[in-house]
Amino acid sequence: MNFKISKILKITLPILLGVFLIAYSLSKVSIDELIVYFKNANYWWILLGAILGLLSHLSRSYRWLFMLEPMGYKVKLSNSVMAVFAAYLINYTIPRAGEVARVSILTTYEGVPFEKGFGSVVAERIADLIVMMFIILVTLFLQFDFIFNFFLSKFNLPKIIMALLGLAVLGLAFLYYIRKSRSVLAVKIRTFVAGLLEGVTSIFKMKKKWLFITHTLFIWAMYVLMFYVTTFALDDLQPISMGAILIGFISASFSIAATNGGIGSYPVAVYAAFSLFGIAEGPSVAFGWIMWSSQTILIIICGGLSLLLLPVFNRKIKLK
C-alpha cells in the first residue's frame, strides 16, 4: 500500500505543482498579455533556438554510442536518436520514466541488456552534471560581485559569514559520518558516490573519450546558445546582460526536474532569475513561456514521430 501511495504521489505531485506554477505565472502576466508577446515575437530567432536545441539532442544521441561501443554493442544511430526523443516525450507524462523507456527501446530493438544500457545513461548523466557544475562555477566567478552584493542586501555580512561557517562545519561533520558510519543510509551514499566516481573514470577509459568530451561540451554549448539567441525574439528583453542569461539558464535548467518537462516551473524560474536583474515581469514570464513552448513543440513532433517510426523502421531492416 505504501509503495502504491508513493508511486501515486511521484506522479501527481509534479502535476499539481505544475498547475500551481502555471496559475502563479498567469498572476504575473495575463493570458491576453502573453498572446500579445507571442504575436510580436520574432519567430526567426525562436526557430534558430529550436534548431540549436535539435542539434544538442542529435549530439546527445550520437554521444550515447560511445558509451555502448566498449561494451560490444554497435547501435544504429537512427535508433539512438529515436530512443532519445521518445524519452524526452515520455518524461512529460511520468518524471524520469523517459530514461527507463529510452533504455528499454535499445533492449527491444538492439538487444542491449537493460542494466548495461541504464548504466551508460547514468554515466553520461554524470558527465552532464559535471558540465552543469562547471557552468555554475563560471557564473559565480563572472557574477561574484553581483551575487555577493545581492546576498549582502538581503542579509548582513556577519550573518552570511556565520551561515557559511555553519554550513562548512555541517558539511565536514556529514562527510565524517558518511565515511565512518555503518548505517544503511551511509552505506547507500558511499555506494552512490563510488558509482559516480566509477562512472566519471570510465569516461576517460573509453577509446573515443575525447569525442565523448567534445560532444558533451557541444551539447551544453548549444543549450546555453539556444537560451541566449531566443532572448532576441523579444525586443523588451534587449539589452540583456550575460549574467542574466547564465543565471536564467541555470535556474531554468533546474526547473525541468521540478515538474513534468518543466511545465509551469520553467517560466517561473526564468522570471525569478531575470527579476534579480531588474527585468520587467511581462517579458520575463513571456520569454519563459516562449522558450518552453518552442522546445516542447520540438519534442512533441520529434518524440511522436520517433514512437511511430521505431517499429516501422526496425521492421523494414529485419525484412532486408
Reference 237, options 36, 32, 41, 34; nearest CA is: 41
**What pLDDT shows up at residue 319?**
47
**What pLDDT shows up at residue 67?**
82
* Stated pTM of the model: 0.82
Q: Are 86 and 291 in contact (CB under 8 A)?
A: no
In order, the DSSP letters of 2-46 are HHHHHHHHHHHHHHHHHHHHHHHHHHHS-HHHHHHHHHHS-HHHH
Q: Are 90 and 299 in contact (CB under 8 A)?
A: no
Give dist(CA 315, CA 320) in Å, integer.
9
Residue whose C-alpha cell is 524519452: 87
How many other C-beta atoms are found inside a 10 Å radius of the C-beta of residue 129? Answer: 13
**What pLDDT shows up at residue 44?**
95
Residue whose C-alpha cell is 552543469: 132
pLDDT in 10s for each residue of the chain, 320 residues: 455 665 555 556 666 666 667 776 777 777 888 888 899 999 999 999 999 999 999 999 999 888 888 777 788 888 999 999 998 988 887 767 778 888 888 888 888 888 778 877 888 888 888 888 888 888 888 776 766 666 666 666 666 677 778 788 887 887 777 777 777 777 777 776 665 566 566 666 777 788 888 999 999 999 999 999 999 999 888 888 888 898 889 888 888 877 777 788 888 888 888 888 888 888 888 999 999 999 999 999 999 898 898 888 887 655 44
Half-sphere exposure of 316 (CA within 13 A, CB side): 5
**What pLDDT shows up at residue 295?**
92
Cα–Cα distance list, 159 to 47, 152, 156, 172 (Å): 46, 9, 6, 20
**What pLDDT shows up at residue 1?**
46
Cβ burial of 15 (10 Å; 0-12, 13-18, 19+) is middle
Reference 26, options 292, 254, 264; nearest CA is: 264
Half-sphere exposure of 251 (CA within 13 A, CB side): 20
**What pLDDT shows up at residue 150?**
64
